[in-house]
Structure 1
Amino acid sequence: MSLFAGMAMDEESVKAGKLQIANYKLGENVHLFGGAFYLCYQKGLINWLTDWNPDVLIMEANPRYIATPSAVKWMHARGRKVIGWGLGAPPSNSPHFLQKWGKRQRGVFLSQFDALISYSQRGADEYAALGFPREKIFVAHNSVAPAPTFQVSRPKFHEKPSIIFVGRLQARKRVNWLIRACAEMGSKPRLVIVGDGPEREKLELLANEIYPATEFVGAKHGAELTPYFAEADLFVLPGTGGLAVQEAMAHGLPVIVAKGDGTQDDLVRAGNGWQIPPEDYGALVQVTREALSDASRVGRMGEESLRIVTEEINIEKMVASFVRALNSLRY
């Protein structure tokens, strides 16, 4: 197995880790234009294919990656299959006449793949709506951890309600909203911010001004997170992103997350948490207050979080979906 990938842009705050199994080939991402016109050219992709000579290729199903058609043609010319992997194809906000053109072009782009893997059921439905055969679409919920095997035992509520955030401290995570929301709570919950990033200094200044009880503990990973999750009653992610949501659920926590690209839809449900509009601070305050007002309900929701990541959404299930997609190409 081999992985070809370029480095993320600095503002994405994504750090590459080391691979223990797969071969890693570092490519060069050439970023073109910006905003709605952004494109990325993956320099060296065809050279890597020539050197590695794979039997099957899985690549991001994103039309902004302009080297993708060349890679697909390279594989198909040798009688080999290509699987596209992506978030889905949400409706465009462009003017109506451009929407029709864009939808047609997206369908043409997707048609080059032999199968598709989506992060969510919403994404799978979007691919099917563009005409891609549903029997060739597989859902692999994005996961960062195996099914939990450790025992989780929680009090109904800690003496003082405790809220935790885990993630990079970036503007898009809206941790400032979480600090402001806690300042509005009559229960004055304990707020623990786990993570580091470019916004930390600003957030610490804000917390000192309006909610001095906020605790910043820095970046923690793996087993280092366990005591912080154990001391929490509720996990809150007011902005986008959030692979830590699954980790929080594995520790039996109910969750509040902002609605995003669909990857949270299957993970966060009415039984284990709340999804709030991403641009609605009032909704964050209202839902946080609601969650902190009913200890028994929060306890039940935490149990459901644990069940979901134990039985439905974890790395084992994700891998199984990839295997099904790969096996489907044999026939």
Structure 2
Amino acid sequence: MKTNIKKVAIVYPYLPAYRIPFFEKLERELEEHGIELTIYSGTNLGQKKVKEISSSSLKISKQQRAGFSINKFQVQWQKGLLREVSRDNPSMFIFMYNAGILNYSLLMLSLSLHKIPFYIWTSGHKRFGLSTSQHKIKDRFKSMGINRASGIISYSSYYKNQLEESGYSPEKIFVAQNTVNVENIIQKYPFSEIKRTYETVKFLFVGNVIETKSIDKALHCFKKIKEQGYNFQFDVVGEGYHLQTLKALSAKLGLQEQVNFHGAKYGEDAAAFFLISNVFLLPGTGGLAINEAMAYGLPIITTPGDGTAHDLVNKNGFLLDFNFPPEQLEDAIFFFLKAKPQEFRKMEEQSVHLIKSHFLQANMVKGFMAPILKELKT
């Protein structure tokens, strides 16, 4: 007698390469429970330059994403998504939700009417640059999805607490701390074998070079620090629409000898910067690069970003206010410029400890398995 195979569908606006190790781990875990995984992925229409997947053994159903922009508000749809879903007939859905993709909301409404469980996977972070009215429209769509959803898979305990404070049932919230394949970094570059020097303190940024990363604020702080005679280096690794503006600003501030722009780097080329740097500096939005930096044993200076940094920064660096005054960033930078090697080492050890004890990608997989097994094993 043929048994019905349970299927989990993950609906994703576009599939970056850094997500593949996580989905492969999740697929292996699901297979042990006789559950299949399918990923429905759109294509990248955003300004972020993100390396997309080239090949994988995962079952990926890819649809073109199309749309238009109205005063920075994106109205989009994932072509053929509803047709593909109808053909495959998954047992459960997890949405990397984007309120601007119209057929996500249509699919959620259909699932709700047919009593098919679906979860929303989100950090709860709101996009910058939208007007109050645009945020209200997006919030209305998102709240419709959240209210109809079987539950939420939160990027962090920070957003989980926000949901609970707003009255959302704790039993419907699952935390899967957002991370990358830190296990691979820890195995390939054991912390005990990483040797750093501290004569010239080297600050590092890695990520998309876009306005919301607030690298310009760091440059202004470094100008003041240079004027006081301190020796430092700031490496910016990444591409983005804001890159040329930052290069011009750096030259204007007279930081050509201290600040270096290296473009996008991947694999061993990116690892080389993490291995020789002393502090990871992310003064704006973001999250995943912090996990990566901590796996290499770097102390952190950052803001709450998408909320995940609230969990990540604990005695291993500085968590700035979201809209921090310049003096707050300057004080954090000065701490490291004046710190002794043993103070660096203490924070480096704490970063690695936090990653190993709480923020492995295996823990993220467990965060996903909990709601999946709740729905499909009952």
- What TM-score bracket applies, with the shorter chain setting the length? 0.7 to 0.9
1:86 aligned partner: 122
Q: Is the 8 A contact 1:107 1:130 kept in 2?
A: no
User: Does 2:318 align with 1:282?
Assistant: no
**Structure 2 match to 1:327:** 373
Q: 1:160 — aligned with what?
A: 200
**CA offsets 1:268-318 (integer angstroms, 9 cap, x no match):** 22x111121344333222211123222332321111111111221122111
User: Which of 71, 87, 90 is 2:107 aligned to?
Assistant: 71
Q: Deviations over 1:35-80 (max 9, x none)?
A: 5x65544443211211222121111345444333431343355553
Aligned pairs for 1:150-229 within 5 A = 150-153=189-192, 154=194, 157-185=197-225, 186-209=229-252, 210-213=254-257, 214-229=259-274
| Structure 1 range deviating more: 209-218 or 224-233 | 209-218
SS of the aligned residue for 2:291 comes to helix
Q: How many percent identity over aligned positions?
A: 25
Partner-residue secondary structure (3-state), 1:80 = coil
CA contact (8 A) 1:180 1:211 kept: no
Pair 1:38–1:195, CA change in 2 (3 A): closer
Aligned ranges 1:1-331 → 2 under 5 Å: 1-20=37-56, 21-31=58-68, 33-35=70-72, 39-76=75-112, 79-88=115-124, 108-147=144-183, 148-149=186-187, 150-153=189-192, 154=194, 157-185=197-225, 186-209=229-252, 210-213=254-257, 214-269=259-314, 271-279=315-323, 280-295=325-340, 296-329=342-375, 330-331=377-378
SS in 1 for 2:102: coil
- Distance in structure 2 (CA, Å) of the matches to 1:200 and 1:63: 28
Aligned CA distance change for structure 1 residues 193 and 307 (closer, same or farther; 3 Å): same
- Secondary structure, in 3 states, of the residue corresponding to 2:297? coil
Instruction: Specify whether residues 51 and 235 from structure 1 end up closer, same or farther in structure 2 by C-alpha distance, changes over 3 A only.
Output: same
1:174 & 1:267 partners in 2: Cα distance?
20
**Using a 3 Å threshold, how does the CA distance of structure 1 residues 305 and 60 change in structure 2: closer, same or farther?**
same
- For 2:362, give the aligned amino acid: E
- CA gap of 1:178–1:68, structure 2 versus 1, over 3 A, is same
Structure 1 residues 166-194: Cα deviation after superposition (integer angstroms, max 9, x where no partner)? 11222222223323322322322122222
Stretches (4+) displaced over 6 A? 101-105
> Relative to structure 2, which stretch is displaced further, 102-111 or 1-10?
102-111
Unmatched 5+ stretches in structure 1: none
Which range moved further: 319-328 or 168-177?
A: 168-177
Closer, same or farther: CA 26–2 of 1 in aligned 2, 3 Å: same
2:47·2:241 contact (CA, 8 Å) conserved in 1?
no
CA contact (8 A) 1:107 1:132 kept: no
Q: Secondary structure at the match of 1:305?
A: helix
Deviations 1:128-168 (A, max 9, x none): 33433211210111111232223124557522111111112
Deviation at 1:248, TM superposition (A): 0.9
Cα offsets for 1:229-265 (capped at 9, x unmatched): 1211111012222422111111110011122231221
Q: Give the conservation status (yes or no) of the 8 Å contact 2:75–2:102.
A: yes
Q: Is the 8 A contact 2:49 2:208 kept in 1?
A: yes
Contact 2:48–2:208 (Cα < 8 Å) also in 1: no
Cα distance, 1:108 vs structure 2: 4.8
CA contact (8 A) 1:61 1:84 kept: yes
Check 1:64–1:218 CA distance in 2 against 1; reply closer, same or farther (3 A cut).
closer
Q: Answer whether contact 1:168 1:196 (CA < 8 A) is retained.
A: yes
Q: CA deviation at 1:117?
A: 0.2
RMSD: 3.0
Tell me how many residue pairs correspond in the alignment: 325
Partner amino acid for 2:369?
A: V
